[in-house]
Structure 1
Amino acid sequence: MTQRFLLACTAAMMTCAAAAVPAHAADPAPQTPTLSAAQRKVLIDATRRFRDVDEALKAGYLATDLCVPGMGWHYVNPQLAGDAAIDPVQPEVLLYVPGRDNKPRLVGIEYFKADADGKLTTDTDRPTLFAHDFDGPMNGHEVPAGAPPMPVHYDLHVWLYLTNPAGQLASENPRVICP
């Protein structure tokens, strides 16, 4: 480095730092979306009772036969999934994995909303939860035989009861392995 370059850097440290470091290295790492402690408490208080799968069944959640790698078994409440409202204390889907004695163990929740126009190219009706955008719009996923096809939709997973190394609001949790 020349004396002139060093003097210039001393005079304008920020400018030189930006010039000396590639743009991609100077950018801060993207933040993994997460919930505040208060938001997390609201969701845990609302869903704690569903740790007992029998309580979920009593509340209208229906088990699916399909275990989705990275997500687990989806227990869907058709009434909640069929309306357009997103209510933080009433998730449309509960996510379970095999627990002790193969009894389902609640690991997370999922919010779901069908896309209003059914087009993958528009997202004017993208929902949010606590200011976090839902993923989508996306095509419907595989459904059990005999079930109606899933529409183009938005969803948001929240890993409340099983830490997700990919992030609290990531779609998939690498710790969830289907048997």
Structure 2
Amino acid sequence: MTNRYVTAVTALTCALTTAAAPAHASSGPAHDGTLSAAQRKVLIDATTRFKDVDEAIAAGYLPTDHCVPGMGWHYVNPTLAADTVIDPVRPEVLLYTPGRNGTVRLVGIEYFKADADGRLTTDTDRPTLFGHRFDGPMNGHEVPPGTPPMPVHYDLHVWLYLTNPAGQLATENDRIICP
């Protein structure tokens, strides 16, 4: 079972370098798009240190080499993405956007969980964060040839450090433009 999740994380890391908008099995948003002030504070307290990208790398987050329009660069923590636990203070993915002078700027976080049965037609294992349902289940994104396929999965984006006109929990943020 662990190898399946490690494979999923490897595929996730590669897929996020070429990801398009995910195809969702369900119609409409899976959440209402708003966190309470207390929930937001918990997440900010847990992730503020990752504004320093070197702190993120030291904590095990691995950068992708492609900026995804509407999302930015994904720094994936393979250990966190491989487990089945959704811990609000330990997001699986950190989202960065191009900053000044070749730097990156932390703009949000993403939670990820592989679907237990790998089927788009069931969602009994849909995770939640503070009562907000994750998006999905969704197909894995296209991955480069020779890369393990990305599994059916759930994810939830949280825009903590850059306002998203579409909502705090929307998948994409139109304010993020890649070079």
TM range (shorter): 0.7 to 0.9
Contact 2:32-2:132 at 8 Å conserved across structures? no
CA apart distance, 1:149: 2.6
Matches within 5 A, 1:10-49: 32-49=32-49
Contact 2:140-2:149 at 8 Å conserved across structures? yes
User: Which segment is superposed worse, 122-131 or 63-72?
Assistant: 63-72
Q: Distance in 2 between matches of 1:148 and 1:39?
A: 35
The one-letter amino acid of 1:63's match is: P
Q: Distance in 2 between matches of 1:168 and 1:124?
A: 25
Q: Distance in 1 between matches of 2:36 and 2:96?
A: 23
The answer on 1:93 being equivalent to 2:107 is no
Give the secondary-structure state (helix, strand or coil) at the position aligned to 1:80.
Answer: helix
CA apart distance, 1:147: 4.4
CA apart distance, 1:33: 2.1
Residues 176 and 145 (structure 1 numbering): CA distance in 2 closer, same or farther, change over 3 Å? farther
Question: Deviations for 1:22-60, whole angstroms, at most 9, x for unmatched residues?
Answer: xxxxxxxxx942000000000000000000000000000
TM-score between both structures, scaled by the size of structure 1: 0.80
Gaps of 5+ in 2: 1-30
Matches within 5 A, 1:45-124: 45-124=45-124
Contact 1:60-1:77 at 8 Å conserved across structures? yes
CA apart distance, 1:125: 0.2
The answer on 1:177 being equivalent to 2:166 is no
The one-letter amino acid of 1:78's match is: P
Higher relative contact order (CA 8 A, sep 6+): 2
Larger radius of gyration: 1
Q: What corresponds to 1:128 in structure 2?
A: 128
Residues 40 and 145 (structure 1 numbering): CA distance in 2 closer, same or farther, change over 3 Å? farther
Q: Distance in 1 between matches of 2:68 and 2:62?
A: 16
Q: Distance in 1 between matches of 2:103 and 2:42?
A: 25
Question: Deviations for 1:84-128, whole angstroms, at most 9, x for unmatched residues?
Answer: 000000000000011111211000000000000001111000000
The one-letter amino acid of 1:167's match is: G
Q: Distance in 2 between matches of 1:134 and 1:32?
A: 11
User: Which segment is superposed worse, 122-131 or 146-155?
Assistant: 146-155
Q: What corresponds to 1:159 in structure 2?
A: 159
Aligned pair count reads 149
The one-letter amino acid of 1:79's match is: T
Gaps of 5+ in 1: 1-30
CA apart distance, 1:148: 3.1
Contact 2:92-2:112 at 8 Å conserved across structures? yes
Give the secondary-structure state (helix, strand or coil) at the position aligned to 1:107.
Answer: strand
Give the secondary-structure state (helix, strand or coil) at the position aligned to 1:65.
Answer: coil
